[in-house]
Structure 1
Amino acid sequence: MLKARHPLGIVFFPAYDWAISPTHPERQERLLYTQDQLREEGVFDIPGITELKPDLATAEDVARVHFCFPDVPAVTTTSHLISAGGAIRAARTVMEKEAERAFALVRPPGHHAMKVVHGSRGFCNINIEAVMVEWLRERYGPLRVAIVDTDCHHGDGTQDVYWNDPDTLFISLHQDGRTLYPGTGFPLELGGPRALGTTVNVPLPPGTSDQGFLFAMREVVMPLIEDFKPDLVINSAGQDNHFSDPITDMAFSAQGYAQLTELLGADIAVLEGGYAIQGALPYVNLGLVLSMAGLDYSHVREPGFDPAAVRQSDKVTGYIEDVCRDIVKEARHPRGPGKGETVNGWFSRRKTLYYDTDAITEYQTESVRLCDHCRGVVKYETESTRNPLCLGVEAPIGACEHCVDEAYRIYEAGQIKGEYRHLALMDRVGKNYLSFTG
């Protein structure tokens, strides 16, 4: 009898009541066609594959990850909390050994949501993978986690959330930012001063096919994961690298995605982008499910697949080989924290961010204390065209006593000075989350 070699839990949430607009590419049909395909193929009749219902994330789950201004309810809907809760349910399934692996087929997506949130950017309000990871750490301790983002767009939000975290390896494979939103994700973006080399970007040229993606997986992703030795591997499983996707320029196939999934062997996958709603997503998701379950996926073929038409050029092949070699070298021997400046023991970097979905511009200064005993307290001074000047302060997991005290001192001084409209404190050591409006 056909049986899953790796028992798999599938969490499904199409967010019927949430859409940017009725005809926007990010809409409920992205998952409804997939649901039909999985049922037609009899996937849920296979022993070892189980359909699960999502949990509901709480405002505290979000506040453990993000500084949301003015507050969490202002930037989320129930659908966002259920999407993040779907990811949490997938993680809980694995940690409680209900299944060996889990796939959260949920929306809205999340990998463009950064540490500070003023609204929606790249169709994302909160970072559902990060909410999931920090929920896990809250309950199971200081896990080492590798997140591999295979969405066609650079996972700039996840990168930002984990920029200063040496216990999270973030690797993003994406279409080169010189040719696609959000215009970031270059090899020298390597992480903050206490986390150098735990951010790794693999920008791939337009026209990259199965050959190029699988080469990058074998030559960059898998060796760096082996170096890092994570407790969990998570796949931000965006599917807009497909050759038929309407908003990208890559040449990946359903078979390629399934092979990548098998090679990665992720414990948890969470759906991100992918906008070829009928021609790609049902087949790519089917391939991912079969691959994660350890079943034969060789019969999966999407309409219009022509190997000759999507074959990458020799020029693209040569470029990928060169860039991958350089990326591994940079990740293993990083050369400093990148753009920024050190003043009085703090390293600061300034960012101007555009929220394309909500048409918001944000101006932000992130500063991390260069502590000799921990990764250092981090503060965010931020204002936007939606909110006046705000302050977020984090004492991260493992912060020393001095850095925890410094976080409270900065937060309390900010209230007294009265220069900030909204203030938030994230104390991951004491599990204390405070907010104040001036």
Structure 2
Amino acid sequence: MLGAFANAFRTPDLRRKLLFVLLILTLFRLGSQVPAPGVNVANVQNCLANVEDQGLYNLINMFSGGALLQLTIFALGIMPYITASIILQLLVVVIPRLETLKKEGQAGQTKITQYTRYLTLGLALLQATGIVALARSGNLIQGCQEDLLHSDSTATFLIMVITMTAGTAVIMWLGELITDRGIGNGMSLLIFAQVVATFPGAMWQVQQTKGWVTFSIVMVVGLSIVAGVIFIEQAQRRIPVQYARRMVGRKMFGGSSTYIPLKVNQAGIIPVIFASSLLYLPAMAVQFNESTSNPVLRFVNRYFVTGDHPLYMATYFLLIIFFTYFYVSITFNPEEVADNMKKYGGFIPGIRAGKPTETYLSYVLSRITFPGALYLGLISLVPLIALALIGANQNFPFGGTSILIMVGVALDTVKQIESQLQQRNYEGFLS
């Protein structure tokens, strides 16, 4: 692998791309450390040092590389873009106009991307308003009694909201620069950088609070989890497809064979984000309502706030399974795949074209989604189990969304570098 990286840096165009990606990631991390105007940096650092539980915003804070609770110019991170992308993917299924755009190829996809940008800025404006309002009222970091802002004036409020929203626009621009001029998917690499940024601190916190023995056990278990995630992320069910010969004009086409790759984890990390976001809603309702007489709020506060209760874990696990099936059903359409195969003369050996092919694809997809859903649920429960067993904080480094992102993006980027090396007749990473 080291030799292949050396070969990549010896290739002038690949070296330029890799250095460009590193430059953008460096600028991105610098922006994640610059505080927004009006933030009392000393008080923020004191609160973060003295308060172990970072409240309801662990997921967003992780996607921002810790920038959210530090109230930097890139405090919102990539989360508004992720949310906007998910919303657009769901709307494509229910809005005929968007579905038509999706079928128009590159031109339609460009239009959907433009809609995603607009929606990202709208969501960033709403999230920035909420975050700054919580910071001004003192509810952003639970248990913090110090003023996070120098002033609670309207001018300071507006400047911070505009700065954070503009920071989200800059993040989108940086991601698109990486995609156009670098290697890999820009947005994915930015998410990867933010998640990796919090990893050493989370590991060191385990050592500081639990000692070297627990730290060593966590490392061994963590490496085992990483190996398992790599195995599952690479796993796929290949359905063979053959194309019959057909005459177009004076030329003969077809006669080839290929396959449809169905990944075990077809949904990626989207179900985990859906389930986490949904479980944040009742906990957030408790935070904004301090009444102790309401039995519903007491129930939520007891079972759905800390995350270490078995009822919370079971609910989280079932929600992930549900959203995995839901997301796979809207992103992979067996009927459309079967129609396209029939249109171009393709068929699955032993399966008739048309409706039987659609039924077969649905059957295989439902069977392969089940282990994928279990895998996502179990991986996501790792930090919650660690929270219950060793008292680790909810940003436990091995497990959940962080490992899925780090391994998934790393594998995808390595594959892209590998393909470019193979095009230049170099030995690849797998040799």
- TM-score normalised by structure 1 residue count: 0.25
Structure with larger RCO (C-alpha < 8 A, sep 6+): 2
Relative to its length, the structure with more strand (as a share) is 1
- Decide which structure has greater helix share: 2
